[in-house]
Amino acid sequence: MKRRQFLHNAGVFLWLPVLESLVPQSVFAQSLSRSRFVMVFTPSGMLMPGGENGNWTFEGALKPLVDAGLRSNSMIVRGLRADGGTDPHWLNTAGFLSCKPIKIANDRPTECGKTFDQYVADKNPTLLRSLHVGFKPMNRDFSADHGGYSDRYLDTLSFRADNRPIGNTYSPQALFDQVFGGGAAGSRHIRALNQRRKSIIDGVIGELGSVKRSLSSTDKPRFEAYLDGMRDIEKTLSTNINNAPTCIPAGARPGPTDYLQQLQVMQSIVAQAFQCNLISSATIMYDDGVGDQFLVHPGGDHDHHGYAHHGNEAANMAKLNAINVRHGDLFAKFVGEMKTRGQLDSTLVMWGSNMSDGNTHNTANLPVVVCGGGAGLKFGQEVNAARTSIPKANLFVELAEIYGLALPVYGSDASASDGTRIGIKV
């Protein structure tokens, strides 16, 4: 049987996880190499006054990783710097994964550079290639005070080429249809099934029976867990959560359950897409590059961006820390699910931000953590603990070696790599 087996029923394609009994052993062994990449993004830095380590520690914003038993899968990388340009909200969001400058012109183009996730997708082709997820698109017009800047830079992490930005999916239902629906017909059928509150799994369960009978005793529990995971996702999608930003009434501030639940569902779909070998890379944005909504702190005096500009006031700094820890909890849940689904040994998951100290727009000592499984990398440690200033592009040069990518030089202009080794390998 082929490694990716699909079943078709009334226009719905259901992609199964990689199961040992359905795959030649040589192919299964190859799947354990590091061939997948995920970038998770938080805007406006962490609580890192002056670019110091601040709360970017295993006792601070990264404590959820420790609490989830994932410290041994996590590596903090210190001392990375990026060019802040005139405004790092724009430059270091769109340019985070390419380490190249954004193009600024009167016609406000959206042009930067091909991003690392897309190099990984090129190297490891899959059916859907990559997924890109966000909570909401940027909904403000900054043209008055940022002439020539495209606002799309604020909600774009991935570029397939310099002039080919890849947009995000903001609805859990749309993401579910994108991953598990077989084109337009499949999507229509999925929506019809949801309206009748009927599981997609139930629509093809007859065909699944013959597959289950052919599985080994080792694979049968994995297969059942896969089906349970799809049912859980569908059940969550049917509970009237905020499926799209337009569902939020004007002036309303969604409570933390809405925001967190929406992102958790979308993260779960991304994790399952990896398990089904549908994608080799993904990006997840916890907010746009500014952070201009009351997302994880309803009733607060400021939005996320406002608390990032805390003015060294203790109350505001405490609010920013709470936001960072909440994002840390979201991130730990995603890494934990990737581990539970058996995907962490073949994947590196990076979490970072467009600056370290949002109060001063400091782009030195950027907050970056890399998570994964297997041997060979310095998981459980702080790399470059002395905070020697090193271009962030140098990290991508070392990651490229792990992925088998021929990228000895990375980035350009003030953000280009300079040959200094960070030393993330054991």
Q: What is the pLDDT of residue 77?
A: 98
Under the banding of pLDDT at 50, 70 and 90, the label for residue 209 is low
Q: Rounded CA gap, 84 and 88, in Å?
A: 5
Mean per-residue pLDDT, 266-283:
94
Q: Rounded CA gap, 212 and 317, in Å?
A: 53
Q: Rounded CA gap, 256 and 360, in Å?
A: 27
What are residue 370's phi and psi, to 5 degrees? -120, 125
Q: Rounded CA gap, 193 and 177, in Å?
A: 12
Structure-block tokens of residue 423: 């030393």
Choose the weakest-confidence range: 48-62, 177-191, 265-279, 291-305. Answer: 177-191
Q: What is the pLDDT of residue 296?
A: 61
- Is pLDDT at 363 greater than 70 in this prediction? yes
Q: What is the pLDDT of residue 252?
A: 42
Q: What is the pLDDT of residue 28?
A: 42
- Is pLDDT at 373 greater than 70 in this prediction? yes
Under the banding of pLDDT at 50, 70 and 90, the label for residue 121 is very high
Mean per-residue pLDDT, 338-361:
96
Percent of the chain with pLDDT over 70: 75
Q: What is the pLDDT of residue 222?
A: 64
Structure-block tokens of residue 407: 């990228």
Q: At a CB cut-off of 8 Å and minimum separation 6, what does 370 contact?
A: 74, 75, 77, 348, 349, 350, 377, 424
Structure-block tokens of residue 220: 């049968």
Residue with tokens 């310099």: 162
Q: What is the pLDDT of residue 259?
A: 84
Q: What is the pLDDT of residue 144?
A: 72
Q: What Å distances lie between residue 202 and 4, 26, 69, 229, 265, CA to CA?
A: 21, 33, 35, 14, 20
The pLDDT tens digits for 147-183 are 788 889 999 999 999 999 999 999 998 898 888 875 4
Q: Are 296 and 327 in contact (CB under 8 A)?
A: yes
Choose the weakest-confidence range: 26-30, 78-82, 328-332, 358-362. Answer: 26-30
171 HSE (CA, 13 A, CB side): 12
Amino acid at 326: R
- Looking at every residue in the chain, the average pLDDT score rounds to 82
Under the banding of pLDDT at 50, 70 and 90, the label for residue 126 is very high
List of domains in the chain: 32-177+260-415 (3.40.720.10)
Mean per-residue pLDDT, 267-271:
95
Amino acid at 415: S
- Is pLDDT at 115 greater than 80 in this prediction? yes
Under the banding of pLDDT at 50, 70 and 90, the label for residue 217 is confident
Under the banding of pLDDT at 50, 70 and 90, the label for residue 111 is very high
The pLDDT tens digits for 311-332 are 999 999 999 999 999 999 999 9
The pLDDT tens digits for 1-46 are 443 444 443 334 445 565 555 544 444 444 335 899 999 999 999 9
Q: What is the pLDDT of residue 234?
A: 62
Structure-block tokens of residue 129: 């290639």
- Is pLDDT at 255 greater than 80 in this prediction? no
326 or 86: which leads in pLDDT? 326
Under the banding of pLDDT at 50, 70 and 90, the label for residue 303 is confident
Greatest mean pLDDT among 84-88, 108-112, 242-246: 108-112
Under the banding of pLDDT at 50, 70 and 90, the label for residue 190 is very low
